[in-house]
Amino acid sequence: MASGTVEIINSTPAGGSNDVSLEEPKKMTREDWRKKKELEEQRKLGNAPAEVDEEGKDINPHIPQYISSVPWYIDPSKRPTLKHQRPQPEKQKEFTSSVEWYKRGVQENAVTTRYRKGACENCGAMTHTKKDCLERPRKVGAKFTGLNIASDEHVQPTLMFDYDGKRDRWNGYNPEEHMKIVEEYSKVDLAKRTLKAQKLQEELASGKLMEQVNSPRHHWEEEESNSQTERDHNSEDEDEDKYADDIDMPGQNFDSKRRITVRNLRIREDIAKYLRNLDPNSAYYDPKTRAMRENPYANAGKNPDEVGYAGDNFVRYTGDTISMAQTQLFAWEAYDKGSEVHLQADPTKLELLYKSFKVKKEDFKEQQKESILEKYGGQEHLDAPPAELLLAQTEDYVEYSRHGTVIKGQEKAIVRSKYEEDVTINNHTCIWGSYWKEGRWGYKCCHSFVKYSYCTGEAGKEIATLEISSLDMHVYNPWHFRLKLLLFYLQIHQEKQKDEKKKKKKKQKKSPNSDSEGEEKKKHEKLKKALNAEEARLLQVKEIMQLDERKRPYNSMYETREPTEEEMEAYRMKRQRPDDPMAPFLGQ
């Protein structure tokens, strides 16, 4: 017996009780584990039949293992099941239906005429004590008088509601109570109709109604009203009377003469803030607070004074906002210096103190200024006219925005290049290249194609339009003919100068003078010296580069002298060119 007890204790897992003997789950081998996983995969693919529980129902293979596997503390020896996931009948309670509710009021049948022991000392009811009594405290309680014994309330049962019953907001509501409100409103409507009928009878008796009926305005209104049904008309009157009491509400526009009620909760023409600029890089819109602090038209280049909406900050910094901030700052500074003032607690006192402070500050500045002028002088410099009158006067109208940018009145300056522009010579009003015709450039002012020529004005334009023919005698004009000849001779002269320059260059190449030969010899000798010096410099640089950096002399690679033309030519001839195809053969 003792040994059996030991076995039970050993087989009990940690935290379990000794009353129930539970077998420890056997440890699976690697091969069994692999087979189990393969079987699970086949079941998920549908190639193997699904696992069956103890009731013969198939277990869905896609259910996770932590749901399908039975916990070890329930019964590890049984086959897989989902019974532990379903509601357990022994744990289920009988919930009250949602129709039942606590009884209200008092018991109607039971009538008591004398005080009972243990009842309320104030009213005499048995269902509560004097401490919980809700009646008016009597001067002498029912315990001593025995009169006016209150009825007993219903004994409240203990109702057990399920999850939905506890959270049902209409649970226990009696729809019949709403009929009291309906009856009250029906009485009010009936009273309004009787008042209208009395008014109509009084107007018929006085004759005012007949005058309104005979008027042309009434005929037009009658034609309009015939298109609507009688039922809509009655409901409209009821709505007018219903909303006439709330004419002081914001968003309402009530006209007593025309009896029209406009219920505009929101102006439909208003544009939402986030629809003013659809650029995602524009002002940020906070959907939670519906605030857009920056100007949505800032990137569009519009003037904030011209747009309808320029951000919440634009509105926040208008009016007395800035002056109020200055007053608040003054209140803080005054409080630090010992004055008991506060913007919200004593606004009038603070305003008077701030005004007196500003007056005293201005007086102090004036006194300080006068004392400095008395001591050092210089009043004549302050009485001088303003700098605008001294330096220059202008009547140009320029309009600026609140940000300092020019709105109108000043043209934007033209950006010029670093080269000389609009430089005119020889009485020309336009530059060379301002006119082009038949592949030639010229001057626009006189239509001349000869560069550096003298401007001939409108006469030159007329000559250019005429045909170049000196034999056309029907258009002969001495002035025109002279201008033609002048232009013709100028062109011939320029062509001769070009030919002479070309001939001189050819002669210099073919027969050089003795002076030029001597100069070339000198240049050749200088170049030889420069080449030798360059070779020596390259050898010196090569030796220096082979030395250690710590042993290299100071400023050995630096020269302050400007190289000559021959030295530069020698450097170009001796430098290494890696892109040269013959570079590898130079050192051989």
- Summarize pLDDT for 3-47 with one digit per residue, the tens: 333 333 333 344 444 444 445 556 789 999 999 899 999 999 989
Digit-coded pLDDT (tens) for 460-487: 887 777 644 443 444 445 555 566 667 7
User: What pLDDT, on a 0 to 100 scale, did the predictor assign at position 472?
Assistant: 45
User: What pLDDT, on a 0 to 100 scale, did the predictor assign at position 17?
Assistant: 41
Separation in Å, CA 293 to CA 41, 282, 304, 392, 522:
60, 11, 13, 43, 81
User: What pLDDT, on a 0 to 100 scale, did the predictor assign at position 557?
Assistant: 63
Hey, which residues does 261 pair with through a beta bridge? 254
What span, in angstroms and rounded, lies between the C-alpha atoms of 397 and 413? 16
What span, in angstroms and rounded, lies between the C-alpha atoms of 510 and 194? 134
First-to-last alpha carbon distance for the chain, in angstroms, is 112
As given in the structure block, the two tokens for residue 131 are: 């401490």
8 A C-beta contact, residue 208 and residue 227: no
Separation in Å, CA 14 to CA 2, 17, 236, 574:
21, 9, 80, 95
What span, in angstroms and rounded, lies between the C-alpha atoms of 5 and 378? 119
What span, in angstroms and rounded, lies between the C-alpha atoms of 555 and 458? 69
Separation in Å, CA 81 to CA 23, 54, 74, 429:
18, 7, 12, 107
What span, in angstroms and rounded, lies between the C-alpha atoms of 365 and 386? 21
8 A C-beta contact, residue 463 and residue 480: yes
User: What pLDDT, on a 0 to 100 scale, did the predictor assign at position 439?
Assistant: 82
User: What pLDDT, on a 0 to 100 scale, did the predictor assign at position 16?
Assistant: 42
Of 119, 188, 173, 177, whose CA–CA distance to 150 is shortest? 119
What span, in angstroms and rounded, lies between the C-alpha atoms of 404 and 401? 5
311: which residues sit within 8 A by CB, 6+ positions away? Answer: 283, 292, 293, 294, 295, 296
User: What pLDDT, on a 0 to 100 scale, did the predictor assign at position 164?
Assistant: 84
User: What pLDDT, on a 0 to 100 scale, did the predictor assign at position 217?
Assistant: 55
User: What pLDDT, on a 0 to 100 scale, did the predictor assign at position 1?
Assistant: 39
Residue-wise over 232-261: b if at least 16 C-beta within 10 A, else e? eeeeeeeeeeeeeeeeeeeeeebeeeeeeb
As given in the structure block, the two tokens for residue 279 are: 């650029």
Separation in Å, CA 533 to CA 231, 529, 530, 538:
120, 6, 5, 9
User: What pLDDT, on a 0 to 100 scale, did the predictor assign at position 500?
Assistant: 84
8 A C-beta contact, residue 435 and residue 443: yes
User: Taking the model in full, what pTM does it have?
Assistant: 0.24
C-alpha Rg value of the chain to the nearest Å: 56
Residue-wise over 513-534: b if at least 16 C-beta within 10 A, else e? eeeeeeeeeeeeebbeebbeeb
User: What pLDDT, on a 0 to 100 scale, did the predictor assign at position 18?
Assistant: 42
User: What pLDDT, on a 0 to 100 scale, did the predictor assign at position 366?
Assistant: 93
Of 49, 70, 47, whose CA–CA distance to 60 is shortest? 49
8 A C-beta contact, residue 73 and residue 16: yes
Hey, which residues does 504 pair with through a beta bridge? none
From first to last of the 588 residues of the chain, give the pLDDT tens digit. Answer: 333 333 333 333 444 444 444 455 567 899 999 998 999 999 999 899 988 887 788 888 898 878 877 777 766 556 677 777 777 776 666 777 767 788 877 887 777 888 999 999 999 999 899 999 999 999 999 999 988 899 898 887 788 888 888 888 888 888 888 999 999 999 999 999 999 999 888 888 887 666 665 665 555 555 555 555 454 545 545 554 544 444 444 444 545 444 444 444 556 677 888 888 888 888 889 888 888 888 888 877 777 777 778 888 877 777 788 888 889 999 999 988 888 888 888 889 999 999 999 999 999 999 999 999 999 988 888 887 776 677 666 667 778 888 777 777 766 555 566 667 778 888 888 888 889 888 888 998 888 888 888 888 887 887 777 644 443 444 445 555 566 667 776 777 788 888 888 887 777 665 555 566 778 888 888 888 888 888 888 888 788 777 777 777 766 666 667 788 888 888 888 877 777 777 666 655
Of 141, 164, 132, 240, whose CA–CA distance to 196 is shortest? 240
Separation in Å, CA 466 to CA 186, 478, 583:
106, 14, 65
Phi, psi of 80 (to 5 degrees): -60, 140
What span, in angstroms and rounded, lies between the C-alpha atoms of 295 and 314? 8
User: What pLDDT, on a 0 to 100 scale, did the predictor assign at position 499?
Assistant: 83
User: What pLDDT, on a 0 to 100 scale, did the predictor assign at position 190?
Assistant: 94
8 A C-beta contact, residue 122 and residue 133: yes
User: What pLDDT, on a 0 to 100 scale, did the predictor assign at position 555?
Assistant: 67
What span, in angstroms and rounded, lies between the C-alpha atoms of 144 and 449? 138
